[in-house]
Structure formats: C-alpha cells, structure tokens
A and B are shown apart, each in its own frame.
Chain A
Amino acid sequence: MTTNTYIHGIGMTKFGTHEDRTLKDLLLDASRQALEDAGRPKVDAVFVGNFLAGSMSNQEILGAIVANDLGLGFVPTAKVEGACASGGIALRQAVLAVMSGEHDTVLVAGVEKMKHAKTAEVTQAINAAMDTDSSEKSAGLTFPGFFGVLANRYFHETGASKKHLAMVALKNRENAMNNPLAQFSKATSLEEIMNARMITEPLGLFDCSPMTDGAAALVISRKPSGIHIKASSLVSGPTQMQDASDLLSIPAIGESGRRAYEKAGLGPEDIDVVEIHDCFSMTEMIAIEELGFFPRLEGWKAVEKGLTKANGEKPVNTSGGLLSRGHPIGATGVAQIYQLVRQLRGDAANQVEGARIALAQNLGGTGSYSAVHILERV
C-alpha cells in the first residue's frame, strides 16, 4: 500500500563543526528553513530524531522545545530514538501519523551535536546503541570494530580488498566536494585513504564516518505536492554480532528494502538515485547488496566499475554520504531525504538527470534498525 503523504518543505544546516552554535540553535534553524520552504503551513505535530542530546548535551524535551520556540502552539510532539536511524524513524512516525488520519501536516527534524566532546567520550556514548548487557560489549567491541570484523571476512570470501573500500570513500568525498552543506570538501586520493591511520583494522580514518554537528528538517502533509512518499518501512534486526546467522548479511537492511519495494510496487531496478547509510565504507558495500542493486558478495565489483558514482547506472550517496557529508547521528536520516528531494526537484548537488524515483536507507546500531523510504516525483 502506498502512502498518501507528500513532502512540502526541506531545511538543513551546514554539516561540520559549529563551535559557536547550540544544539537548539541548529535544530530551530533547520526547522525554520523547512517551514518557510513549505510556505509556513499550520503544523499539527512534531517528531524529532536525536540520539545523544541526553548523554552529551544534557538536553531532552527536544520536541517541546521545537514547538515552543518556533511558536507552533500546544501541538503533540515527541523525540524519537533509534540510534543512527533516529531521523529515519522520526520520519516514519510522522508518515504513520498522517496515514492514520490523526494529523494533516507534521514537522520532522533531526539534530546532533558531537564536536564539543573527545573521540573516546563520543565512542563511549555511541556504544549505548549496543546491547550493553552482553559479553560482546564487555569484550570491547565498538561500531567501527563490528564493521572491521565484517570487512575482514568479506575480503576472505570475495576478491575484495581494502582498495575497494577506499573506492567507496573516494567516491563519496568526490560527491561531497560539490555539496556546499557537506562537512568535507578537501580533495583526497586512493593512496591517502589507504595509508591513513587505522581505526579498527582494516578500516582506516577515511573508512569511518566523522563526528559532526548539524540538523535537518522536513514538512510532510496529506495535501499533495510534487514529492510523494511512496513507501515507508522499518524493521529491527540482530543486536549482537555473535548472534548473526550470517556475518556478511545485515538482514534489517534487506528486509526493510523488501517491505518498501512491496509497498511501493517497485523493485531495485526502478530506483534512479539512492542515499545509503554509509556509516563505514564497508556498510555501503553490504547495503548495495542487501537492497538488491547488485548480487550478494558482488557489491565490490560494482564499486570497481564505478556503477555507484553520481554518473553511474545506480548513483549512491550523491550528497557525499555519512562519510563525507557528515553524520550528526539524529539528523542523518532526515538529511538523506533532504538530498533526495533536491534530486527530485532537479537542483541537487551532483544532480542525476531526470531522477524520478529515489530511495533512502537509514541504519541504526550494527543492524538493530533499518528504515527505508521511497520517494517519487509526481
């Protein structure tokens, strides 16, 4: 069943370091932009995606803050948490609220502020997205660690190597260089990426998404617009690496994709442009397989052929992705939609000519959550 919800407005701050701006300032900025882009409609509800404001900024009640400080009145609001999928889940909750008939027009925002803290502290805080009551957490596994373990096995079972991961990182950096809102605009090379310092072997610095400050927002409504949300799906998956029946599969991604395709009546071949949750270069490799764009264990061949470049047959992460656009955790899922709406409107960074159908996939944890949205230009 396709939804009857449409996107009316989008907003986004620059992603990067905002030393002199608060979490609230970023959140309100993106929200205000989205409302003005939508023509200042009456908002019936607000959903905010966020993961770390409580632990790193001692700030909750983000939904109420948005409604109060924007002057939206006594509308229902909620913060939505789903680790790195918080933004995608916030959008899904808004879509469901519209589909249910409860609300006509809903503001969705995502925000995170991370750059004020040390890497070890952020890594510690992000580990809250693991099952912390497990031997695996006690062993010292981290998120980049999980994808390092996955990458070594992927190399073992395929012809892929660290160079293929570097190709993913380089592609996304090249895309980000054309995106004025992206965190990184400096040119790099395969050599620099492959020789960068190790984080969790075989993943080096460029294989890992950065810490980022930033916010993004959307206005959705049952009233028609030029951008139809054709499908919204969300699933949960394994919460521990040692519980996965196949390390080289992230079933939450595959299942959320299958459900979204079914709702939309479409298949992977119909998608013109994609934003994928490349929290690590390895994650993008697995996701392009799980979403059916390329056969299992052959994503690396597609990367090698350049098929996922902005001018390739399946453009992935034309925004620069999490790796180079940046990854302010709660904002990421919303920022993916921002880029895809720009693609469908025809004025995006790295515009894909004639893009009509777009897909966003937003991952939380090591596959604990995956949200997929399919958009259509109508």
Chain B
Amino acid sequence: MKKLKVYSCCGHDTVVKRVYCPSCGANEISEREVEDKGSIYSFTKIHVPPSEFAHLAPYYVALVQLDGTSAKVTARMTEDIAIGDQVELDKVEDGAYLYKSV
C-alpha cells in the first residue's frame, strides 16, 4: 500500500515516470517497488509558504535518499531533522509523501 515506485533505465533510477528514456529512447522503462525507508539527503524549513499551505507553516520539505536505489523522493515532515537522519514513509496525503523519523 505504502510502497514507492522507482523507474529505471540506463542506470538512472527516479520516482518520476517518463514516456521515453532520455538516454536510449526506450519506451519500456522498468518499474519496481522499493522500501519506504531512507535517509535525509537535504532539507529546508519553510517559514513563508504559498497560500494553499499557509495552515501548515512552518514545515519541513526533505529530499529523502531512498534505501536500495539511487532515487530520491521529496517529502514533507513536521519534526526537526538533519542530513543523514533515518526516516520512513508515514502516509500519503493529498498526493504528498509524509515522512517521519525512525
């Protein structure tokens, strides 16, 4: 249910699905599920949000390095975090990946 999908071709893993591989042009890009766990690659704490997220501020947006793949995913968090912290997917809400510390 919570599994993330990663798309791979020509050695590039990404959570973004493409029609064709930008390297070789193939239209059959392999797809696999990866673990929900990862570590904080980098992050920011957003104090000035766009109007639709005003009720959440301040909040963290983190780039999570997923375990077992070179792909990363952008996530929202509410806890204080630092680069390298271990995190896991908590839930998917309104299209957003919400992560929490392990």
Which residues of chain A have a CB within 8 Å of any CB of chain B?
Answer: 119-121, 123-124, 127, 134-136, 138-142, 144-145, 148-153, 156, 197-203, 240-243, 245, 247
Contact = CB atoms under 8 A, between A and B. Distances in A.
A149 B63 contact: yes
Interface in B11-52: 12, 14-16, 41-52
Contacts of B102: none
Contacts of B56: 140
A242 B16 contact: yes
Task: Report, nearest first, the 6 A-B pairs whose CB atoms are least far apart.
Answer: A148-B44, A138-B95, A153-B42, A138-B96, A120-B51, A136-B74
Given A140-B96, A153-B42, A242 B48 contact: no
B46 A145 contact: yes
Contact of B47 (A153, A200, A243): A200
Given A136-B74, A140-B53, A245-B12, A123 B46 contact: no
Interface in B41-97: 41-54, 56, 59, 61-63, 70-76, 83, 94-97
Contact of A142 (B12, B15, B50): B50
B45 to A, nearest CB: 4
Interface of B: 12, 14-16, 41-54, 56, 59, 61-63, 70-76, 83, 94-97
A108 B75 CA distance: 40
Contacts of B16: 134, 240, 242-243
Given A138-B95, A140-B56, A199 B47 contact: yes
A135 B73 contact: yes
Contact of A139 (B42, B75, B83): B75
B42 A150 contact: yes
A197 B41 CA distance: 25
Contacts of B83: 152-153, 156
A51 B69 CA distance: 37
- With a 10 A CB-CB cut-off, give which of A138, A142, A144, A153 has the most chain B CB atoms: A138
Contacts of B52: 124
B54 A145 contact: no
A242 B63 contact: yes
- With a 10 A CB-CB cut-off, give which of A153, A156, A198, A242 has the most chain B CB atoms: A242
B74 A135 contact: yes
A342 B6 CA distance: 50
Given A139-B75, A243-B14, A145 B44 contact: yes
Contacts of A247: 41-42, 63, 72
A201 B73 CA distance: 19
A149 B61 contact: yes
A247 B71 CA distance: 12
Contacts of B73: 135, 242
A200 B54 contact: no
Contacts of A120: 48-51, 54
Contacts of A245: 12, 70
B102 to A, nearest CB: 19
A247 B64 CA distance: 12
Contacts of A203: 44
A139 B15 contact: no
Given A153-B41, A199-B47, 14 more contacts: A123-B50, A124-B51, A134-B16, A140-B46, A142-B50, A145-B61, A153-B42, A156-B42, A197-B47, A198-B47, A200-B47, A201-B44, A243-B14, A247-B42
A165 to B, nearest CB: 13
A334 B12 CA distance: 36
Contact of B42 (A152, A198, A199, A243): A152
